[in-house]
Amino acid sequence: MSGLMGVKLRRDLRASWSRFALMVVALAVSLTVFGGLLLAWASIGGQTSGAYMSTEPASATIVLDQGIDPARMAALVEQTLKRPGVLRASGRTQFDAAVSIGGRVLSVPLQVFVAAADDPMRMVRFDLKGSWPPAPGEILIGGDSLGLLGVRPDDELTLTSPGGQPLRLRVSGTVYDPSLAPSPQEQRGHAFLSAASLRPALLDQLKIQVAEPGQRTPARDREQVVAAAGDVGAWLQRDLGLAVAEIQVPTPYAHPHQWQADVLLLSLMAGGAAALLLSTILVANMLNNLFTQHIPQIGIMKAIGASARSIRRLYLTMVLLVAAAATLLALTPATLIGRYLLETLLQILGIQSGDLAAPWWAYTGIVAVGLALPPLMALMPVLRASRITVRAAIDHRGGSEPSAAGGVLAGLGRMSWSDRGLLMALRNTVRRPARFWLAVGMLASAGAMFVAGMSLNSGTQALEEERRQKRYWDVEAQLDGPAHADAVAGAVRKVPGVIRVEVWNRVQIGLAGTGRLPFTRTYPDQGHGSVSVNTVPADRVSAPPPLLEGRWLNPGETGAVVLSQIVRDNAVPELGAGDAVRLFIDGEPSTWRIVGIVEEREGSGGGAYATAAGFAAASGQSQVVNQVRVITAGHDERTREAVAAAIGKSLTGAGIEVGIAASVSRTNAASAGHMGPVLLVLLGVALPLGVVGAIGLASTMSANVLDRTREFGVMHAIGARPKIVRRVVVTEGVLLALAGCVVAVIPALGLTAVLGAGLGNLFTKAPLPFQVSLLAAGIWMVLSVLGAVLATEAAAGRASRITVREALTYL
C-alpha cells in the first residue's frame, strides 16, 4: 500500500472511529461467546474421557441370578479370561441400604459397591484417600456423598447387609469415582466396601472388558461388546450351570451424563455461530454504507490515477484491521468463559477438573474464524465499490428510489388529521428496505431466542409440575425384601396421619426377545438404563401413562405386560403390541405378551408394568410387595417427615425390614437436578444476539441520519426545532424495535416447538410441554423499546444539531 493510501486509511479510521468501534464490539461480543463455547467443547471430551477411562470401566456386566462366594468367583474370573475377546475380568456386587448414625436413620439411601479383599483393581477402579482394601468394619464414602449424607471421616455408620444383618462400619476414607453420576443429582450416596466385611460374602456380578479384534485395547463398538458378552453368558449357562439374570452393556466408555454436556455445548455453539454470522453480516452492511459514502472519494482517487486493485487493498486492509482488533479483544474473555463453562460442566458430570487449558487447535480456530469471516463477508461490497467508474462516482447523490410503502405514507401525510412527525418516521424507517430488514432481522433473532429460551424454561417447569402431580403420594417406603401385601398395608394404615396406602412391587428384570439373552444399557450405578417391572395395584390413584400402541392392563390379568417406549426402543426395538417377550425375573425366564406400549419420560417409571397376579404367577410366589406409597393428611414437609419416621417404626415392629422411608421431596429434588441445565441452552445465546441487534439498530440509525443530512438541514431551515428532529429519529428506532418484536413472533413459536421437542426427546425421551412465556414476550418488548431509545440517542442528537451550512456542504 502506497504512502498516500496509508494516510487515507488513517484519516478514514480517525473520521469514523465510532462506527469502527461499533464494528469491533459487535464482532468481539459474538466471537467471545463462540470462542468460549468452542474452547469448552474442545476440552470437555478429553477431560471426560480421560477421567472415565482412568477407572478402566467394564465393557459389560453379567449379572448372575445367585451370588457366589469370593473364592469361586476368583476361579470363575480365571476361566473367563481364557474366553475369546475377554481382556480383563473381575467379580463384584452392589446393594442399596438405609444408613443410620447414632440411631438416626438418614433420609438418603446409600449405594454400596463391593469387591473382594484381594481384588487387584485392574478394572472398575477408583481414586481413594485411604487404602484398599478397607479393613473389616471399615467403609469408604464417595467424596461428593459426604455433604449429601451429612457424614464425616471416622463417623460410625450402621447399615443393613444383603443378608439382613446390621453392619457397624467406620468411615475410613473417601473415594473419587468419575464413572458415577454425582450424588447430589441422584440424591443417593455412594460407598465402597470389602467383601471381608460381609457375612455371608456373595458376589453376583462378573465384569468383563472386551478387546478389539487382535488387539489388547478395549473395544468401543457396542455390537462387538454385546456379541462377546453374549458368548460368555451362554458359556456360563451351558457349561457351568450358572443362570444369567441380565447382561448390562452401556454405551462403551461414555459417562452416563456425558451426552448432556455434549447436547448443551453443541446447541450453544450453533447459537454462538448464528450470532457470529449475524454480527459479521452487520459489519459487512456497515462497511457497505461507509463505501457508499466514499463513492465520490473513490471517483476522485480513480481520476488521479488510483487503480481498482489499490482501492480494494485499501478497504480490505480496513476490514482486516477491524477483524484483528475484534479477535484480539475476544481472546482473553473467550478463554475465561471457556474455562468457567468447562469447570461447570465437569461439576455437573461429577468429574474433578484438572488442567482447564484448551488444545492449541481451538485457539487457532478462533483466530482463523475471527480474521477470515469478516473479509469474506465484506468481499462483495469491496469489489462493488472498487469497480465504480469515475462518471458513476460523479453522478452519485446517495439517494434511494421511493418504495411503495413510502408512497402510501406520503399520501397519508397529506391528510389534515395525520401526525406529520410519526408519518415521517414511518416513511424513513422503510425507505431503505434492505437496511430495514437487516436491523429488524437481528432484533427478531435475539427476541425469538430470548422468548424461546424463557418458554423452554416454562416448559421445563410445566414438566416438573407434571411429574410432581404424578407423584401423588407424600411418603414412599422401600423394603429390604419382599413382604406380604396385606401385612405391609395393615402396618402402615395404623400410623396416624395416613389417609391412603398403595403397595407396589418393583423388581429389576432382564428383557429379551424369544430365544435371546437379556441385554440392557444399564450403567454401573444400576439406575441409568436399567429395566424394572412394577406390579400395578388394582386401586391405584393415578391414571396410567398415555398409550402409544395397544391397551392397558386388565385387573387380575396374567401373562400380559405393558412396556414404555424407552425400554422397548433400548431393549427390544423389533417388538410391539401383540408380540411375545421374555422377562428374566431373578434369572428365570418367563414368556409374556406385550399388550401395550406407553409413553414415559426418562426416569419417571420402571419401564414395564404387570398386574400383581401376573407377576406372582410368573415368579411362583405369593403376591408380595417391596414398595409403599402413602398419602398423608397434611402435605407439608414436616408432616411428611414425621409420617415417614412413624412408618419405619411401624413396619419394623411388624417384623418387616425397611430400607428407607422418605418424603417425596427427595425424588423431586433428583428429578429437578437432571433438568437443571436445559435453560442454559437458549438464554446463553440470546445475550450476544441482543447485543448484536442493539449495535445493528444503532448502526442503522446512524446510517439513516447520514443519508438524510440534507433533509434534516431543510427541516432546520424551515423552522423545525431540534426537539422535533430528535423525536422523529427516536421514533424511527422505536418503530424498528416494535417491528422486530412483531417479526419475532412466528420464529419464537417455531423455536419453542422445535427445541422443546428436540431437547425434550434428548433429556427425557419425550417432548417438553409446549408453553409460551407471555412474561418473556412482555419483558423483551420493554427491553427492545428501551434499547432502541438508547441506541438511537446518539444518532438523534447528531440529527438535531445538523446546521443548514453543514447540510449544504455534505457530499
Q: Worst-scoring range by mean pLDDT, 35-39, 402-406, 726-730? A: 402-406
The whole-angstrom separation of Cα 628 and Cα 480 is: 12
| Amino acid 273: pLDDT | 76
Per the structure block, which three cell numbers stand in for 449?
Answer: 431466542
Q: What is the mean pLDDT of residues 634-657?
A: 84
DSSP 167-231: EEEEEEEEEE-TTSPPHHHHT-EEEEEEGGGSSS--EEEEEEEEBPTTSSSB---HHHHHHHHHH
Gyration radius (Cα) of the chain, Å? 34
| Amino acid 570: pLDDT | 79
433-490 pLDDT tens trace: 766 776 777 777 777 877 887 787 777 777 777 777 777 788 888 887 788 888 888 8
Would you say 261 and 343 are in contact if contact means Cβ atoms under 8 Å apart?
no
Q: Worst-scoring range by mean pLDDT, 163-177, 636-650, 653-667, 787-801? A: 787-801
The residue ranking higher by pLDDT, 259 or 102, is 102
Strand ranges (E), 14-147 = 60-68, 86-97, 99-101, 104-105, 110-115, 127-129, 138-142
Residue 685 has pLDDT above 50, yes or no: yes
Q: Worst-scoring range by mean pLDDT, 40-54, 368-382, 713-727? A: 713-727
27 CB contacts (<8 Å, ≥6 apart)? 276, 279, 280, 283, 322, 323, 326, 327, 330, 370, 374
For 387-401, letters b (16+ CB in 10 Å) and e give: ebeeeebeebeeeee
| Amino acid 409: pLDDT | 45
Angular region, 167: left φ>0, alpha ψ -120 to 50, beta rest: beta
The runs of H, that is alpha helices, within 622-744 are 637-653, 665-675, 680-707, 709-717, 722-743
| Amino acid 232: pLDDT | 93
| Amino acid 596: pLDDT | 92
Residue 402 has pLDDT above 60, yes or no: no
Q: What type of residue is 151?
A: V
Q: What is the mean pLDDT of residues 343-365?
A: 82
355-394 pLDDT tens trace: 778 888 989 999 999 898 888 888 888 888 788 887 777 7
For 670-692, letters b (16+ CB in 10 Å) and e give: bbbbbbebbbbbbbbbbbbbbbb
Q: What is the mean pLDDT of residues 38-62?
A: 85
Per the structure block, which three cell numbers stand in for 575?
Answer: 417388538
Give the residue extent of every domain in the chain: 1-56+257-396, 58-248, 403-471+668-811, 473-663
Over the chain, what is the mean pLDDT? 79
Would you say 465 and 690 are in contact if contact means Cβ atoms under 8 Å apart?
no
| Amino acid 679: pLDDT | 55
Distance set, CA 574 to CA 512, 514, 565, 570, 581 (Å): 11, 11, 12, 10, 11
Confidence of residue 671 (pLDDT cuts 50, 70, 90): low
Nearest to 642 by CA among 465, 772, 496, 788: 496
Q: Worst-scoring range by mean pLDDT, 41-50, 122-131, 791-800? A: 791-800
| Amino acid 408: pLDDT | 47
How many C-beta neighbours within 10 Å does residue 217 have?
9
Residue 212 has pLDDT above 60, yes or no: yes
Residue 646 has pLDDT above 90, yes or no: no
H/E segment holding residue 747: helix 745-764
Peptide bond into 200 cis (omega under 30): yes
Q: What is the mean pLDDT of residues 750-763?
A: 76
| Amino acid 561: pLDDT | 92
Cα 302 to its chain centre, rounded Å, is 56
Per the structure block, which three cell numbers stand in for 178?
Answer: 468419575
Three-class DSSP category at 262: helix
Confidence of residue 714 (pLDDT cuts 50, 70, 90): low
| Amino acid 696: pLDDT | 61
Give the position of cell 444476539.
Answer: 689
Q: Worst-scoring range by mean pLDDT, 259-273, 334-348, 368-382, 554-568? A: 259-273
Residue 663 has pLDDT above 60, yes or no: yes
| Amino acid 412: pLDDT | 44
The whole-angstrom separation of Cα 737 and Cα 605 is: 46
Any idea what the Cα angle at residue 590 is, between residues 585 and 593, rounded to 5°?
115
Distance set, CA 221 to CA 224, 226, 644 (Å): 5, 9, 46
The whole-angstrom separation of Cα 653 and Cα 82 is: 51
The whole-angstrom separation of Cα 396 and Cα 390 is: 10
| Amino acid 324: pLDDT | 92
The whole-angstrom separation of Cα 623 and Cα 616 is: 5
Confidence of residue 709 (pLDDT cuts 50, 70, 90): low
Instruction: Say how many CA atoms lie within 13 Å of 708 toward its Cβ.
Output: 26
The residue ranking higher by pLDDT, 570 or 552, is 552
The residue ranking higher by pLDDT, 529 or 506, is 506
Nearest to 181 by CA among 259, 269, 120, 295: 259
Residue 3 has pLDDT above 90, yes or no: no
